[in-house]
């Protein structure tokens, strides 16, 4: 844990975005993904600033180090996937709170994809069952990608033991490993699947949310930040406003569809992620309009990690989830 914290401290010094207002600066650990669009929108449109908050976005290459930095108090807020590492941090005695939705892998809304090398696609590998015996690249063991492919395999009569899970540390590295055929399959979020198809070396077998919907990502607060109730609530007000803007831009009648400000959302997301607008337009993931969590799904995740030996026991939900910030923010905001 100490070594991980030291590494994260160095990362924070190197990758922080330009600081905003020092008085109400909030350090937010985030990944440069399409699923981070609500945060990008909130910064760009001034939704946080309207509530006296200036987020400082700190970019990482994987989810687990963000949880480590939040637990160590080096970040105020984490905005990334729910991993075994996060649950183990809390089980080990550190404190952080999962407080809001930051993306669900959901039917019809592309987020994570199972992508195979073009050669496998052309050889007929076009189903989950056909992945048996293949090398599957993920960022890390215990990651959201590990959890998702494990559950999808189980739904199709296989298990993680029927494939070879290859940890590649970073999403960009996983994409390059597929391109170079060090692995034959990857599970990655947008915009990486779109890039694989656009460059011609990968083909999408399935969008994971169509096979296994779940609460993949969340906003979580450091212990000290959560204790500063005023500041934590003002941040959440800005986030709920951002979530509503995002939701209304991508959802029409409960289904994917371009709503008001869709092109503005595409442009902001492309600028913050570095992906081309045509890649961004391949799809945005679903998020609850008010940022509410699927609380019970978090409990199911911990039970799966316990069964697979990554977690000794599940953390009681009341000791890791606090929906009160979202509820207070929603109550305080008028449409």
**How many domains does the chain fold into?**
2
pLDDT value at residue 254: 82
Q: Which two tokens stand for residue 145?
A: 């990608």
pLDDT at 10 over 80: no
Q: What's the whole-model pTM score?
A: 0.86
Within 10 A of 335 (CB to CB), how many other CB atoms are there? 3
Q: What mean pLDDT is reported for the chain?
A: 91
CA 266 from centre of chain: 18
CA 85 from centre of chain: 14
> Of 195, 211, 227, which closes a domain?
211
pLDDT value at residue 335: 60
pLDDT value at residue 13: 39
pLDDT digits (tens, 9 = 90+) for 103-141: 999 999 988 999 999 999 999 999 999 999 999 999 999
Q: How confident is the model at residue 8 (pLDDT cuts 50, 70, 90)?
A: very low
Q: Give the CA dihedral 42, 45, 46, 51, nearest 10 degrees.
A: -60
H/E element, 212: none
pLDDT digits (tens, 9 = 90+) for 68-113: 999 999 999 999 999 999 999 999 999 999 999 999 999 999 889 9
> Of 211, 227, 258, which closes a domain?
211
% of the chain residues with pLDDT over 70: 93
Q: Alpha-carbon distance 314 to 303, whole Å? A: 6
| 224 and 304, same domain (yes or no) | yes
How far CA 79 is from CA of 21, 84, 203, 297, in Å, comes to: 20, 15, 28, 18
pLDDT value at residue 110: 84
pLDDT value at residue 325: 98
DSSP per position, 41-52: HHHHHTTTGGGT
What does residue 142 show for φ and ψ, rounded to 5 degrees? Answer: 90, 5
pLDDT value at residue 17: 41
H/E element, 287: none
pLDDT at 215 over 90: yes
Q: Which residues share a beta bridge with 215? A: none
Instruction: Supply the range of the domain harboring residue 177.
Output: 112-211
| 218 and 328, same domain (yes or no) | yes
Q: Alpha-carbon distance 109 to 93, whole Å? A: 36
| 155 and 279, same domain (yes or no) | no
| 194 and 218, same domain (yes or no) | no
pLDDT at 20 over 70: no
The radius of gyration of the chain's CA atoms, rounded to the nearest angstrom, is 19
| 136 and 93, same domain (yes or no) | no
| 207 and 223, same domain (yes or no) | no
pLDDT value at residue 103: 92
| 97 and 220, same domain (yes or no) | yes
% of the chain residues with pLDDT over 90: 83
| 158 and 286, same domain (yes or no) | no
Closest CA to 15 of 35, 34, 29: 29
Q: How confident is the model at residue 12 (pLDDT cuts 50, 70, 90)?
A: very low
For 47-60, what is the mean pLDDT? 96
| 42 and 119, same domain (yes or no) | no
Per-residue DSSP letter, 101: E
Q: Alpha-carbon distance 229 to 232, whole Å? A: 5
For 233-249, what is the mean pLDDT? 98
- Which CATH number covers residue 53? 3.40.190.10
| 64 and 204, same domain (yes or no) | no
Closest CA to 297 of 320, 328, 280: 320
pLDDT value at residue 253: 84
pLDDT value at residue 14: 39
| 144 and 126, same domain (yes or no) | yes
């Amino acid at each position: 844990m100490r070594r991980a914290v030291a590494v994260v401290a160095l990362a924070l010094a190197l990758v922080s975005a330009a600081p905003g207002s020092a008085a109400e600066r909030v350090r937010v650990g985030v990944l440069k993904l399409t699923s981070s669009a609500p945060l990008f929108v909130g910064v760009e449109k001034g939704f946080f600033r309207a509530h006296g908050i200036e987020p400082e976005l700190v970019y990482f290459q994987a989810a687990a180090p963000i949880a480590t930095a939040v637990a160590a108090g080096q970040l105020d807020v984490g905005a990334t996937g729910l991993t075994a590492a996060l649950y183990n941090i809390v089980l080990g005695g550190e404190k952080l709170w999962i407080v809001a939705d930051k993306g669900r892998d959901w039917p019809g809304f592309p987020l994570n994809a199972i992508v195979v090398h073009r050669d496998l696609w052309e050889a007929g590998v076009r189903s989950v069952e056909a992945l048996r015996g293949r090398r599957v690249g993920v960022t890390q063991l215990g990651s959201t990608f590990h959890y998702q492919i494990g559950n999808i395999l189980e739904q199709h009569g296989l298990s993680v033991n029927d494939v070879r899970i290859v940890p590649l540390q970073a999403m960009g590295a996983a994409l390059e490993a597929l391109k170079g055929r060090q692995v034959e399959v990857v599970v990655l979020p947008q915009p990486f699947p779109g890039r694989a198809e656009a460059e011609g070396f990968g083909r999408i077998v399935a969008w994971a949310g169509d096979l296994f919907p779940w609460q993949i990502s969340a906003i979580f607060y450091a212990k000290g930040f959560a204790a500063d109730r005023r500041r934590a609530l003002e941040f959440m007000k800005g986030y709920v406003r951002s979530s509503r803007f995002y939701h209304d831009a991508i959802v029409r009648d409960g289904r994917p569809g371009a709503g008001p400000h869709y092109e503005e959302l595409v442009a902001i997301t492309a600028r913050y992620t570095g992906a081309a607008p045509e890649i961004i337009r391949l799809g945005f993931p679903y998020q609850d309009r008010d940022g509410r969590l699927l609380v019970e799904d978090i409990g199911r995740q911990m039970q799966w990690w316990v069964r697979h030996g990554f977690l000794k026991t599940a953390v009681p939900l009341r000791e890791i989830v606090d929906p009160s910030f979202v509820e207070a923010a929603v109550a305080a905001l008028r449409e």
